[in-house]
Copies of this chain bind each other. A is one copy, B any other.
């Protein structure tokens, strides 16, 4: 490709909202442009990288035994209603009607579509295991799109769906995909950490994210010291340290408590430790139910864990008005003791206690009245709860659940994820069954597996760059060679540059040839550094020995008749013959 004709050229400005390095560099170098917030054009250079990443994913998925196909983009909404996902996905889902008033959704994932397809066939156990995948446009009506390709509203995802006869067979496929994903990301230059994570609206019992460690990542996860435990903050577990469990239970006591409404106010007033205080957080879920979450004062509530326990989709904090008028309690003084007796009759209240309440005796906290506190509250004796479980947010320095010591916190970019689905979909979509050996129809045991192509691309740029621009790993670079023609006003140099360009192409080398005649060398070098193609090859007066052209050159001096070669990821420049360059290219 001649750079003079490439659309578009590099530019110096970055968009005002560009904060991420990948956003700035991909924009300046001409790989992407935004249409509307979170919806991007992939320009010719960006397209090439996108396709190379896609090719790696395809090759490894095929090797892993998966079969590529593609489903329609518009999913009949009726299918999503069958699995109840119009409720659970809710606000991220866009829907559309056709002329006959049939409703469709623009899917963010395609579980329903693949199950609906597979149930059209009478498969038997002999047809399984089956893993079907596609590359297709996915849509998420995100609240906020992030600049660049990391959080967008429209993107190509490789999504795969596996169908197995039972859990045991599924687990083999899950492991197969784990290894395949690790290989895929490694091939494109990304080291990933496999992190337990939340399944969001996908469902199932467990899932894992593939995370590229990065300060700008939105995935916060916790890691034990030897890396054998890694879990997203949403799901990370820890062992709460045991506090005053040796203490005998003291009698419950209501005391005057003229204080502010924060936890610290309670600590100050009573001169007791924070951990001994009960933290009461009142939420309202999407059905209008009130949820009172109870947790040890030094811990925080993990809303994702809480949602799973109450089987809800969305939480918001209750307002002061609701606390007073519906619960008849007082902000800052909520207490589980007797709370169900004081609430409005039409209020549905669930009380959920974190397991950490079991590590404390004689806790203190509000009394559901202004300026009154309770001392020596003990679970079971003074109050009961609807659910008890793990609703605590894990943090740096907490104890790893495997007993291996303290946890540390990391941030990273989620580039892929794998989900156990079990019967989540095949139990809801009728007829999603295969015929087993015994002749009986049984539901498929499923999993699903996703990789965001654009997000992988941006992650590569986040990892591989310097102050001058992008440094593409060879396998995903848009071109292998960036050929710079300098001094092109001299006919013989120009002819030589053209010749080398043609020779490289004839050898099957992907080459971008900067053939512009009206530009200073410095600008061409700067463009090459910004675009980040692995090999920069310069032809100029210096390298060009009149009469003897490089492919069959006899060298006079270090530079004459040779090509000036520099790898983008290295400092030194070398002078190589055409054949030496070819050898290098074929080896890399």
| A positions within 8 Å CB-CB of B | 1, 4-9, 33, 35-36, 39-44, 46-47, 50, 65, 67-76, 91, 94-99, 102, 104, 106, 113, 116-118, 120-121, 123, 126-127, 130, 132, 137, 139, 141, 143, 153-154
29 contacts between A and B (CB under 8 A): A1-B67, A7-B67, A7-B118, A7-B123, A7-B127, A7-B132, A9-B121, A33-B117, A33-B120, A35-B76, A36-B72, A36-B74, A36-B76, A36-B104, A40-B72, A41-B70, A41-B113, A41-B117, A42-B69, A47-B69, A47-B70, A50-B70, A73-B137, A73-B154, A74-B153, A91-B99, A98-B141, A99-B141, A99-B143
Chain B residues closer than 8 Å to A153, beta-carbon distance: 74, 98
Q: Oligomeric state, in number of copies?
A: 2
User: Is there an interface contact between B47 and A127, defined as CB atoms closer than 8 Å?
Assistant: no
Additional A-B contacts beyond A7-B67, A73-B73, A94-B96 (12; CB < 8 A): A1-B67, A7-B69, A7-B118, A7-B130, A7-B132, A36-B76, A36-B102, A42-B70, A47-B70, A73-B137, A94-B97, A137-B137
Q: How distant is A59 from chain B, measured CB to nearest CB, in Å?
A: 13
Bound CA–CA A99/B153 (angstroms): 11
Cα-based distance from A507 to B177 in the complex (angstroms)? 27
Which B residues lie within 8 Å of A68 (CB)?
A: 44, 47
Q: How far is the CA of A132 from the CA of B91 in the complex (A)?
A: 35
Asked if B7 contacts A41 (CB within 8 A), the reply is: no
Minimum C-beta distance from A524 to chain B (A): 15
Known: A36-B102, A44-B67, A47-B69. A74 touches B7 (CB 8 A): no
Chain B contacts for A71, CB-based, 8 A: 35, 41
| Known contacts A33-B120, A71-B41, A121-B8; A106 and B102 CB within 8 A of each other | no
A154→B94 contact, CB < 8 A? no
User: Are A41 and B67 within 8 A (Cβ)?
Assistant: no
A71–B50 Cα distance when bound, in Å, is 13
Asked whether, in the complex, the Cβ of B154 is within 8 Å of the Cβ of A72, the reply is yes
Contacts of A75 in B (CB 8 A): 35
Give the docked Cα–Cα distance between A99 and B143 (Å). 8
Residues of B within 8 A of A70 (CB): 41-42, 47, 50
- Chain B residues near A98: list those with CB within 8 A: 94, 141, 153
Question: In the complex, what residue of chain B is closest to A117 when comparing beta carbons?
Answer: B41
A40 to B75, CA, bound (A): 11
Q: Is the CB of A113 within 8 A of B67?
A: no
The CA of A35 and the CA of B105, in the complex, are separated in Å by 13
> Are A72 and B7 in contact, CB atoms less than 8 angstroms apart?
no
CA distance A5 to B123 in the complex (A): 11
- Tell me the bound Cα distance from A126 to B43 in angstroms: 19
Minimum-distance CB pairs A-B, first 4:
A39-B72, A44-B67, A96-B96, A35-B72
CB distance from A10 to the nearest CB of B (A): 11
Q: State how many angstroms separate the Cβ of A165 from the closest Cβ of chain B.
A: 14
